[in-house]
Structure 1
Amino acid sequence: MTDPAILTIIVNWRTPGMTLKAAELALRAMKGLRGGIVIVDNNSGDGSFEHLSRAVAERGWDAEARVRVVQSGRNGGFGAGVNFGIRTGLASGEEPDFYYLLNSDAFPERDAIRVLCDFLLATPEAGFAGSFVRGADGEPHRTAFRFPSIASEFENGAMTGAISRMLERSVVAMPIPQGRGRVDWTAGASLMIRREVLDQVGTFDEAYFLYFEETDLCLRAARAGWSCYYVPESRVVHVGSVSTGLKSAERTPQYWFDSRLYYFIKNHGRLYATAATLAWIAGAGIWTVNRTLTRKPDRHRKGHMADLVSHALRQVIGRRGDGRGPARGALVEDRK
């Protein structure tokens, strides 16, 4: 493969201004590369689709269908929006060799896309390649991760130095790698995927509304023999949580708990999912004792333990979902 085709997919949810900036910089980064950009509006209902369509035409980006704006018709979440973009495909009808996912609030540097493409071309066993991501303030973001486990849930609940050191190889968020290397999974804010991976294991599981969808896809691919790599030479600025508002949210939204539980049940079974939840609660108990003795501020989001426990109990008594996916009705209010 000497001249691969790339389809860049940007999912918009009520962030048309940032989406246009992301598209502008992605278009610059696509210079000299075959392919195009598709902006998927996830039924924003705020005029985003019309605004984006008009702006793309006014800027001439739609020449030769280099940039297209499409309407998914529903807000099914990030994975559903990406899947819609994958099904939309390239305007030429040609199958892309690679899909490049870019968040609507992520801004790639000039060579960010080419670096990922060149890496995948040179690394046949790699199914995914993710970028180095920093915030608008210049601070690096942790985007190299391990798969969640019972041990990682215990560590995440405890957040205590001795336990974190003991379980350092299980902590989900890895220290920021200093160079290229294999990771379990990496963030979808700037992620290139080889088409053959999706042909083999399928696209995103749309039962996830937000969160854990990249984790699930990378796990399925890993089980099929594909690797995921962190490629820091590809650099992207990411504002983060603009559409979801999770950074500023007082409590963790329902859809996060839905996705977390579904991930564990789907990939490891109900018994493992129960053990993972109990491990987090046990760890949080240790943290509660520790902070009481040391008078440290609580590092967990407000009400997180109570919300986690009540969510698990609702699953047990059948009031929330059936274990085959997050309860879709529970997501309606959270995502507005």
Structure 2
Amino acid sequence: MDKIAVVILNWNGVKLLEQFLPSVLQYSEGASIYVADNASTDNSVEFVKQNFPTVKIVQNTGNYGFAKGYNEALKHIDAEIYALVNSDIEVTKNWLKPIIETFDTEKRTAVIQPKILDFKNKEYFEYAGGAGGFIDKYGFPYCRGRIFDTVEKDEGQYDNNCELFWASGACFFIRKEVFDYLEGFDEAFFAHQEEIDLCWRALNDGFIVKYNSQSVVYHVGGATLQQGNPKKTYLNFRNSLLMMVKNLPEKGLFFVVFFRMVLDGIAGIRFLAQGKVKHTFAILKAHFSFYSLSLKYYKKRKEFQIQQYYTVKSVVYLYYIKKLRVFKEIFNSNQNIKK
């Protein structure tokens, strides 16, 4: 069994592999490198075989998205630690060392996220993860370094290694034994918020999710599905509701989900006012899909759910009404984050 396997999920991403795979090979000493291919129709697999012969390839039989794509590929990879890395990630020197050290010394830590900065503007955090994620009472995710569309400059303000609620799927480290125990990502999610769901389930089982600032990567973001894509809106809104039904504490479950759906309706009206009609319909589609799946997801609930899952009641209220724009303002200078 390998100590750590770096696994890059790919679908028709030959240009990304050409650009970013060299940094992974250069700086991942001691790790086994895999490309997990989701039945690409370009020449991705042949390109890797010809240009990076030390990289191992796992070929899935279909385009399974992020969730099932990784679930299927990891069945064929034996390592103590999985590093699940987007194909548009540039890694840096010694990026694996602090992660491995944390896993070796903190046995209850199951998931770790590095510092994720913007490849296009390297002084700033990147949208998809920043310095680690949290959610509010109504399931809205946000990050240290990024609240909705406001992204902070990295000035060392989040260099404290702390416990998180969720780690970004853009660069996601997890113990194999925990991934297997939790039965991997929820495949019905396809993509988006499956990593939040997995972290929530890990927390419900007593594991710890952490952030390590000594490991730094740069992420392009939106290379596979752009931020303004209605499909992304659909998946985010639907998956968030499904995740809440599965993981919220029983007490207040109905009220919280109902209020969240009201907030979704307001978001749909806002999209309509902005002329983004397709996004409004994407939210409606997400809700109808949720209705059809909600009972199935309620039955997936485990006996125990952590009670204090949120850090603030409504990040939407604090951001849009109170006009608080950065994490430290919203979170009261990190007072409640566990060290």
State the TM bucket, normalised to the shorter chain. Answer: 0.7 to 0.9
Quickly say closer, same or farther: Cα 1:15–1:46, change in 2 above 3 A: same
Report the number of matched residues: 276
Of the three residues 231, 234, 238, the one matched with 2:219 is: 238
Partner of 1:281: 265
> What amino acid sits opposite 1:229 in the alignment?
K
Of the three residues 204, 209, 213, the one matched with 2:190 is: 209
Task: Name the CA distance, whole Å, in 1 between partners of 2:231 and 2:70.
Answer: 27
Q: Is 1:307 the equivalent of 2:282?
A: yes
Q: Is 1:50 the equivalent of 2:46?
A: yes
Of the three residues 66, 70, 75, the one matched with 1:78 is: 66
Q: Is 1:179 the equivalent of 2:160?
A: yes
Which residues of 2 match residues 162-177 of structure 1 at below 5 A?
A: 172-175=142-145, 177=158
Partner of 2:106: 123
Q: Is 1:145 the equivalent of 2:133?
A: yes
Quickly say closer, same or farther: Cα 1:45–1:258, change in 2 above 3 A: farther
Task: Name the CA distance, whole Å, in 2 between partners of 1:323 and 1:73.
Answer: 30
**Shift of residue 205 of structure 1?**
1.5
**Shift of residue 315 of structure 1?**
4.5
Quickly say closer, same or farther: Cα 1:119–1:103, change in 2 above 3 A: same
Task: Name the CA distance, whole Å, in 2 between partners of 1:46 and 1:116.
Answer: 33
> What amino acid sits opposite 1:227 in the alignment?
I
Quickly say closer, same or farther: Cα 1:117–1:9, change in 2 above 3 A: same
1:187 partner SS: coil
2:113 partner SS: strand
2:223 partner SS: coil
Confirm or deny: 8 A CA contact 1:252 1:304 kept in the other structure.
Answer: no
Deviations 1:300-321 (A, max 9, x none): 96654453245324654x5xx5
Confirm or deny: 8 A CA contact 1:181 1:230 kept in the other structure.
Answer: yes
1:133 partner SS: strand
> What amino acid sits opposite 1:258 in the alignment?
R
**Shift of residue 38 of structure 1?**
1.1
Of the three residues 196, 200, 206, the one matched with 2:177 is: 196
**Shift of residue 188 of structure 1?**
1.6
1:256 partner SS: helix
Deviations 1:260-291 (A, max 9, x none): 33222333488343332113435777xx6xxx
More off after superposition, 8-17 vs 306-315: 306-315
Partner of 2:331: none
Partner of 2:3: 5
Quickly say closer, same or farther: Cα 1:121–1:280, change in 2 above 3 A: same
Quickly say closer, same or farther: Cα 1:121–1:262, change in 2 above 3 A: same
RMSD between superposed Cα atoms in Å: 2.9
> What amino acid sits opposite 2:12 in the alignment?
R
Partner of 1:18: 16
**Shift of residue 112 of structure 1?**
0.7
Consecutive unaligned residues of structure 1, counting only runs of 5 or more, are 90-94, 154-170, 289-296, 326-336
Task: Name the CA distance, whole Å, in 1 between partners of 2:96 and 2:279.
Answer: 37
Quickly say closer, same or farther: Cα 1:314–1:100, change in 2 above 3 A: closer
Confirm or deny: 8 A CA contact 1:10 1:101 kept in the other structure.
Answer: yes
Task: Name the CA distance, whole Å, in 2 between partners of 1:56 and 1:191.
Answer: 23
Task: Name the CA distance, whole Å, in 1 between partners of 2:68 and 2:106.
Answer: 28
**Shift of residue 211 of structure 1?**
0.4
Confirm or deny: 8 A CA contact 1:185 1:218 kept in the other structure.
Answer: yes
Deviations 1:136-156 (A, max 9, x none): 221212521113532x55xxx
Q: Is 1:256 the equivalent of 2:236?
A: yes
Quickly say closer, same or farther: Cα 1:322–1:54, change in 2 above 3 A: farther
Confirm or deny: 8 A CA contact 2:234 2:285 kept in the other structure.
Answer: no
Confirm or deny: 8 A CA contact 1:185 1:215 kept in the other structure.
Answer: yes
2:79 partner SS: coil
Quickly say closer, same or farther: Cα 1:42–1:265, change in 2 above 3 A: same
Task: Name the CA distance, whole Å, in 1 between partners of 2:24 and 2:295.
Answer: 38
TM norm structure 2: 0.72
Quickly say closer, same or farther: Cα 1:305–1:126, change in 2 above 3 A: same
Which residues of 2 match residues 286-301 of structure 1 at below 5 A?
A: none
Quickly say closer, same or farther: Cα 1:276–1:199, change in 2 above 3 A: same
1:207 partner SS: helix
TM norm structure 1: 0.72
> What amino acid sits opposite 2:125 in the alignment?
P
Deviations 1:29-61 (A, max 9, x none): 221x2x41110110121232222222223xxxx
Quickly say closer, same or farther: Cα 1:225–1:315, change in 2 above 3 A: closer
Task: Name the CA distance, whole Å, in 2 between partners of 1:277 and 1:263.
Answer: 13
The structure with the larger Rg is 1
Of the three residues 37, 42, 52, the one matched with 1:41 is: 37
Task: Name the CA distance, whole Å, in 1 between partners of 2:13 and 2:28.
Answer: 22
